[in-house]
Amino acid sequence: MSPSPVHPASCVLRLAPQGGQYQVLLSCTAWRQALPVPPQGELLPDWSAAGLPPLCAARLLQVVRSGRAATWPIELPGAQPEAPLRGYLLSVSPMAPDDGAPGQACIVTLTPNHVAWPALNLRNNAHANGLTVGLTLDPSLRLQALEPAWTLLTGHPTEACLGQSLLDYLHPQARERFRQDLDRPVVPWLDFEAPRLRLPLQHRNGNLVWVEVDFEPLAAPAGAPLAGGWLAQLEDVSDNVRTWHLDQVREQALDQSNCGVVITDATLTHQPIVYVNQRFTEITGYTLHEVLGRPCNFLQGSDNQQADIGPLRDAIRQGARASALLRNYRKSGEMFWNQLHVAPILDEPTGILTHHFGILTDVTETRHLLAQLSRQAEQLHSLHHDNPNGLIAFSDEDVVQLDNQAFVGLTGLQATGLSREAFYATLQSMAAPGQAPLATALAGGEAVQWSLKKPRERVLEIRGSQPNAAGAPGLLVFRDVSADVQLYRMQKQFLATAAHEMRAPMGSIRGFSELMLTRQFPAEVQRDLLERIHRQSGRLSDLLNDLLNLARIEAQAPGSLKLEAVELQPLLHEVVRNFERPGVDSRLTLRPAPAPAWVQGQRAKLEQVLINIVSNALKYSSARGLPVELDLQPGHDPLHWQVQVRDQGVGMSAQTLERLFTKFFRVDPNGDIEGTGLGLCIAKELTERMGGTIGVESQLGQGSVFTLNLLKSDPATSEQAGARAPAAGGHPPSCC
């Protein structure tokens, strides 16, 4: 509040009592403006005549007589007739006795007290109740006379209260305290030095009524102690006190807040901070006195180029609400993240922006936790997303809340959002016939194998974990075990086929030898039987050799074959020579390439591949006696050499070609042409392990063309690098 314009400064007055009158020894101009006292040297019979309230005049007289110093608040009318009352502090200071001068001299000072006494100086407040009650009390505070307004104030009829102690009408919690004070030699709240007294009365209806009381001592009989009773004026100030309490409570509530609160004065150009709550000081580390009067931006330090600052300043300038996330700095220099919300406060009638209200939240820890959480979420996401197994997670509401790419890949199903029931039913509709209901299958808690028919035939291993309250799994893991199951089936089939293939020659050998042992045959029959035994044992031996070969190849890890650069021309000549018989015209012709053809491989393995294919071409065209061609030429791309073996033999149908490279497959297993059904499988396996491919074109009754595409190699570099067959990324070796 600003000081009164009428009484801008303290006033000083010297006076001396003369027979109960005052002599003005000295008065300043300001004093004379406050109270119309006579000129210096003149006598003043009574202070109340000069405008001092009667109670105050009596108190002044008493204090001056006692020679004590005292200060108390008073109110004086303003300079204009209609002007409101103005509050002052009246101070009395006794002066050292002046020999020769009669009576006691003292200095009286009037100080505008708007700041010193704000809470009680509310009489001019338009909302003040203003109900006043005059009463008289005996020295023990018993009510002697009451104005009728007493009933309005307390709800008690005046007659019923006469003779009762004023203290009986206090709020019970305050009553005892005031009563105890009465027993003291000097009652603090009846002391003239005490301010205007505020008492809590209790209305008959139970409500608390705050009153302020001015006590004026009644003249005591001669020789009696100071007070012979009291004249008192009660004023109902309940509304004002409640407002004041509410202000206090608001401030306390703001201090309890978990957010920092700051208020700046927008009517001053540098917009100083005029209020901060306790949390603000805790967050920033600055004390109240270190921040009051400063503009808010000191919290940014030199870090004032932040992206959010510009828009925040613009919004503040325009008097709009704004939010910003700022890097602020505590007094210690430590950075913290401030989530700031700023709101303008306008003067209601004029719309003038008077204040800004800022709410600070230290979100450093939250941001740190959020960053941690988001990192964890990313890790989880990637674990989940990149997991080769299909994953399904159910929410507490039994709804699929998560499926991963592997699951969608396995089933083609987007399951997120489906209830458990709908999810199981959808999966069941895709299952192979005869599959147990999924819920039943999983009830045992063990992993189950479950066959899908759609989107394509697969065998899934499904494992449930993290059961919910009802015992249903919260997480399902789907693993495609089709390959494992297929492998297992193939191994079983392979063993059965191998045993079957061996049984025939073994049976022949055993049967013919038994025949020879048990019966006598002529020499030519014996020879025939021996030839058969020899042929079957040869077949058995070939079969075992091929099986061993294949087992050896398959036992090697893909990519483990040590490769080198091999020149194909001499190798092909060698292969051709292998099939030449003395005195027999060879049906095999070689068409070599115009230049050396270096490929990546192993000489012995390449030779084995070529022999398998060429021998088949010769075998399956022998009846016709037609030539077989062996061609070496550049491949269709610059990376390969191509070897083709072309015959005009029995050829193969399209159905045969589909199964051609599988183990033990033979078009005519009981025909005259002997074979194991393993040669092509070995050729394919070896070719692919050397980085090449093998293909076939054939027509039944027309002949076949087998084509090998072999990776070119540079003999110089391959020696240093120790060339290796490409791993799975190139041409993966197939399973025969």
Tell me which residues touch ligand ADP (CB under 6 A).
Answer: 612, 616-617, 620, 647, 649-652, 660, 665-667, 675-681, 704
Cβ proximity to ligand ADP: between 284 and 687 the closer is: 687
CB of 432 to ligand ADP, least distance (A): 32
CB of 509 to ligand ADP, least distance (A): 19
Q: Which amino acid is at 41?
A: G
Cβ proximity to ligand ADP: between 240 and 612 the closer is: 612
Closest to 360 measured CA to CA, from 409, 304, 420, 296: 296
Cβ proximity to ligand ADP: between 600 and 621 the closer is: 621
CB of 374 to ligand ADP, least distance (A): 59
Cβ proximity to ligand ADP: between 599 and 681 the closer is: 681
Cβ proximity to ligand ADP: between 426 and 702 the closer is: 702
Q: Mention every residue, 6+ apart, whose C-beta is less than 8 A from residue 283.
A: 260, 330, 336, 338, 360, 362
SS3 (DSSP) at 28: coil
One DSSP character per residue, 515-569 reads HHHHS---HHHHHHHHHHHHHHHHHHHHHHHHHHHHHHHHHSPTT-SB-EEEEHH
Cβ proximity to ligand ADP: between 338 and 616 the closer is: 616
Closest to 565 measured CA to CA, from 375, 722, 335, 442: 722
CB of 505 to ligand ADP, least distance (A): 13
Cβ proximity to ligand ADP: between 105 and 609 the closer is: 609
For 633, the token pair is: 């030429």
CB of 615 to ligand ADP, least distance (A): 8
CB of 382 to ligand ADP, least distance (A): 46
* CB burial of residue 539 (10 Å; 0-12, 13-18, 19+): buried
Q: Mention every residue, 6+ apart, whose C-beta is less than 8 A from residue 160.
A: none
Q: Mention every residue, 6+ apart, whose C-beta is less than 8 A from residue 532.
A: 508, 512
CA distance 167 to 392: 77
Place of tokens 């458990």: 420
Angle, to 10 degrees, between the axis of helix 679-689 and the axis of helix 603-619?
150
Cβ proximity to ligand ADP: between 437 and 669 the closer is: 669
CB of 735 to ligand ADP, least distance (A): 15
Cβ proximity to ligand ADP: between 283 and 547 the closer is: 547
One DSSP character per residue, 289-350 reads HHHTTS-GGGGGTT----TTHHHHHHHHHTT--EEEEEEEE-TTS-EEEEEEEEEEEE-TTT
For residue 557, CA distances in Å to 4, 330, 554, 560, 693 come to 102, 64, 7, 5, 18
Cβ proximity to ligand ADP: between 505 and 679 the closer is: 679
CB of 630 to ligand ADP, least distance (A): 13
CA distance 171 to 168: 8
CB of 734 to ligand ADP, least distance (A): 14
CB of 390 to ligand ADP, least distance (A): 38
Cβ proximity to ligand ADP: between 420 and 539 the closer is: 539
Phi (first) and psi of residue 340, to 5 degrees: -105, 135
Reported in sequence order, the residue ranges of 583-690 that DSSP labels E, i.e. its strands, are 588-591, 598-601, 628-634, 640-647
Cβ proximity to ligand ADP: between 21 and 537 the closer is: 537
SS3 (DSSP) at 724: strand
Peptide bond into 455 cis (omega under 30): yes
SS3 (DSSP) at 226: coil
CB of 602 to ligand ADP, least distance (A): 20
Cβ proximity to ligand ADP: between 153 and 694 the closer is: 694
Cβ proximity to ligand ADP: between 328 and 704 the closer is: 704
CB of 677 to ligand ADP, least distance (A): 5
Q: Which amino acid is at 123?
A: R
User: For residue 473, how many other CB atoms are within 10 A of its CB?
Assistant: 21
CB of 656 to ligand ADP, least distance (A): 7
Q: Mention every residue, 6+ apart, whose C-beta is less than 8 A from residue 458.
A: 410, 451, 452, 480, 482
The upper half-sphere exposure of residue 9, i.e. CA atoms within 13 Å in the direction of its Cβ, equals 6
Burial string for 143-181 (b: 16+ CB within 10 Å, else e) reads beebbebbbebbbbebeebeeebbbebbbeeebeebeee
Q: Nearest residue to ligand ADP, using CB?
A: 675
CA distance 680 to 661: 6
8 Å CB contact between 154 and 172: no
DSSP structure class, residue 67: T
Cβ proximity to ligand ADP: between 395 and 702 the closer is: 702
Closest to 736 measured CA to CA, from 694, 707, 708: 694
Cβ proximity to ligand ADP: between 113 and 612 the closer is: 612
CB of 697 to ligand ADP, least distance (A): 11
Cβ proximity to ligand ADP: between 169 and 661 the closer is: 661
CB of 478 to ligand ADP, least distance (A): 38
CA distance 720 to 701: 48
Phi (first) and psi of residue 357, to 5 degrees: -115, 120
* CB burial of residue 205 (10 Å; 0-12, 13-18, 19+): exposed
Cβ proximity to ligand ADP: between 181 and 697 the closer is: 697
CB of 616 to ligand ADP, least distance (A): 3
For 475, the token pair is: 């997480």
For 171, the token pair is: 């709020």
CB of 687 to ligand ADP, least distance (A): 13
CB of 553 to ligand ADP, least distance (A): 14
Place of tokens 């409570």: 249
Q: Mention every residue, 6+ apart, whose C-beta is less than 8 A from residue 500.
A: none
